[in-house]
Every structure is written in C-alpha cells, then in structure tokens.
Amino acid sequence: MELWLDAASGNGAILQPHPADRVLLAAGDGVPDWIDSALFACEDGRILDSATNPVGVHVDISDAEGQDAAKSMIGLVSWLVLTTGDWQMIPLENIVAAAQGSGTHLVARIDSSDTIRGAAFALETGVDGLLLPANDAEIWADAQMIATERLAIRSDGDEIAIEEESEIVPVEVIAVEDGGFGDRVCIDLTSILEVGEGLLIGSSANALALVHGETLASEFVPPRPFRVNAGAVHAYVMMADGTTRYLNELAAGDSVAVCNPDGIVRSAIIGRMKIESRPFLVMRFSHSESGTTGQTFLQQAETVRFISPIGEMPSVTSITVGDLLLARIGASARHIGQTVLSVAEEH
C-alpha cells in the first residue's frame, strides 16, 4: 500500500525530503529535487504524471452521484483518488468491491488517524494507497505502522511459524481428575474458527494442549465458532508472537495463536473475555519421547473439546486414561512468557 503526500491542498510547503511513495502537487507547481515520483492534480479533477499524461481522476464519493461517477471510471484509469464525507466506510467498500480485478488502483484521502485502518482493510482488500496531509506527523506515523501491518499479513498469509524446538505431537492421557470449582475463561475472537482449530492451553508453558473451538453443533447448544473455552485463569495460552501469557492477563485487542492439527498457526484478535465460576476437570498427559508431562484445567462441559491425532474432537467429559490428544511440547522453559535456555522452575 502506497503512501501519498498531499501537497496540492495548500496546506504548507514541503521543504525537505519526506517518506512518501508519491507526491501529489497542484498543477503548475515545480517539482522539488528530492521527489522521485510526482503527480499533478488539476482543477478539473484529472491527475497527470510528470510528463502531463493523464493517469487518474479525483472523485468525491460522499453521495450516490459521486459513487456512480467513480464506478464509471473503473477500468478506464490507473488511479482513482477518493474523498469521502460523513459516511466513510460504506462508500469506500462499495468502490473497493467494484474495482477488484479491474486494474484501477484506489487511493483514499485521509484526514484523521481514525480512518486509516478502515481504508487499509476495507473488505479485507483495502485501498492501494492513502493520500495523507503534508504536515501531520501523527497521521503519517499511524499510516506507516498500519501499512507495515498490512504488508506483514499479506506476506505470510496471517500465519506464524511454531518454534523449531517444539511441535504439535500426540500425548497420552495419564489421569483425569476432579478439578474442583474455580474461575473459567472463555476467549471470544473477532474472527471465525474453522473446524479443527483451537488454542494452545496448559498449566506449563512447555506442555500446551490443543483445545478445540466451539465450532461443532449439537442438539443442545448452537455452535459459537468464535469461542474457545480455555480453562482456568492461571493457565498459559500461546500468543501470536510466540510468547505465552496467563489467561487472567488477556484483554480485548490482544492477538493469540490459533493452531490446527498440522501445527499451522495464524493470529486472531481477542474481542472479549468471559470469566465465570465453573466446575473443572484436570487432564494430565505425558509425551513419551521427551518425558514431558503437562496438565490443563478445563470446564466440565460437553462443549469443551480436545483434538486427537486421528482428527476427532473428543469432549473433556468423555476422555479416559490412555486416550491420545494433540499438544505442543517445547524444550525450553519460559520467564514472563519469553523462551529461556534453562531455568529451574516455571515462572
């Protein structure tokens, strides 16, 4: 996503180099020496390149007439620079939808930081560029951060790699015990989980069980495909950056690691936390190859499920000693969520 500097609006001269991909000048302006890619905005709405060739148009899409005018230019010009009114997202989404696959690139005029993310991620596609005011350092900083975020998501498909020292492996259940009564955490995400996806949860950061999301329907309760019933407040959960956090520490806006049975991990944002008192079962498990043992406290409820090595999603209420489940087994311990080479105890 390109960042354009708006020097055509009469909002102050740009006297020194600027981190802009392109600079939009007013017709007749001279081109500063440090500008590599300059465009010119004409009073009739045309946008010209430095050789005065028409490459785009500026359209105000604050009303239905403007949106129709913008749509009529899609496929005919390289660039559409869009200005919105009080309604910002819906008009932008309408044009983003119409322009997909057309070869026309969209640039959204930005007047405040609040509108940057919406334009950058409209309909998951977003615009191709942001036209930013020349002398607003805060808007530029926010735009650069969000542009970097979008590049990272598109570069890796929103997936993150599990550390080389750990993997998703079968573990054997060695005990199922009454876990008493305590505070249980449900993690509600802002995105939908697929069947087979869940979160990595456990009482020890080097032994995290793969707890399945509530994506399966039953005759008693509807699915909640955005939710993972993650267990007791003391448990660790794997975050999107590879660190671990206590469930009690999580807050809306945090990014957790959503994992599938193949160990493919993607990030998802927490929308809310639900902490309520519930009865627990304790699942203790062992990884025979490494000798690592672990445990996790989960609510005693049929909707709380693990994932087995053969792709089944058994409920915690049906698990028995000797069953095989999937877990993430790590070689290193952690300190405040960070991997360390060796420590005597889990912190």
Question: Residue 267 belongs to a domain with what CATH number?
Answer: 2.170.16
Distances (CA, A) of 265 to 26, 118, 296, 334, 335: 47, 25, 20, 20, 22
Is 172 buried (19+), middle (13-18) or exposed (0-12) by CB count in 10 A? middle
Q: Is the pLDDT of residue 11 over 50?
A: yes
What's the pLDDT tens digit per position in 129-186? 999 888 788 888 888 888 888 876 655 544 444 443 347 999 999 999 999 999 999 9
Residue 195 lies inside a defined structural domain of this protein: yes
Residue 347 lies inside a defined structural domain of this protein: no
Same domain, residue pair 128 and 14: yes
| CA neighbor of 36 nearest in space, from 17, 9, 12 | 17
What's the pLDDT tens digit per position in 30-43? 666 666 677 777 77
Residue 345 lies inside a defined structural domain of this protein: no
CA distance 295 to 230: 13
Cβ-contact 9, 25 below 8 angstroms: no
Cβ-contact 332, 242 below 8 angstroms: no
Same domain, residue pair 79 and 117: yes
Average pLDDT in the chain: 84
Helix or strand or coil: residue 86?
A: coil
339: left (phi over 0), alpha (psi -120 to 50) or beta: beta
H-run or E-run covering 280 = strand 265-287
Residue 208 lies inside a defined structural domain of this protein: yes
Same domain, residue pair 150 and 195: no
Cβ-contact 210, 261 below 8 angstroms: yes
Buried b (16+ CB within 10 A) or exposed e, 106-131: bbbbbeebebbbbbbbbeeebbbbbb
Give me the pLDDT at residue 208, please: 96
Cβ-contact 256, 199 below 8 angstroms: yes
44: which 2 tokens? Answer: 């009739």
CA distance 17 to 35: 7
Give me the pLDDT at residue 35, please: 66
Last residue of a domain, one of 156, 180, 211: 156
Residue 346 lies inside a defined structural domain of this protein: no
Angle at which helix 89-99 crosses helix 64-73, to 10 degrees, equals 20
Same domain, residue pair 174 and 285: yes
Same domain, residue pair 205 and 304: yes
| List of residues 6+ apart from 68 with CB closer than 8 A | none
* Domain span holding position 286: 167-340
Give me the pLDDT at residue 16, please: 58
CA distance 16 to 42: 24
Same domain, residue pair 191 and 309: yes
Q: For 196-222, what is the mean pLDDT?
A: 91
Same domain, residue pair 119 and 177: no
Residue 182 lies inside a defined structural domain of this protein: yes
Distances (CA, A) of 58 to 78, 82, 102, 216, 324: 12, 6, 17, 48, 61
Residue with tokens 């939808």: 97
Give me the pLDDT at residue 238, please: 94
Of residues 218 and 286, which shows the higher confidence score? 286
CA angle 303, 244, 197 (to 5 degrees): 35
18: which 2 tokens? Answer: 């600027």
Same domain, residue pair 151 and 234: no
**Residues 153, 155, 158, 161, CA torsion sign:** negative
Cβ-contact 1, 96 below 8 angstroms: no
Give me the pLDDT at residue 33, please: 63
Helices in 129-259 by DSSP H: which ranges?
137-156
Same domain, residue pair 139 and 212: no
CB neighbours of residue 187 within 10 Å: 25
The size of the chain, in residues, is 347
What's the pLDDT tens digit per position in 51-109? 778 888 999 998 989 999 999 999 888 899 998 888 878 888 889 888 888 889 999 99
Helix or strand or coil: residue 313?
A: coil
H-run or E-run covering 38 = strand 38-41
Cβ-contact 107, 128 below 8 angstroms: yes
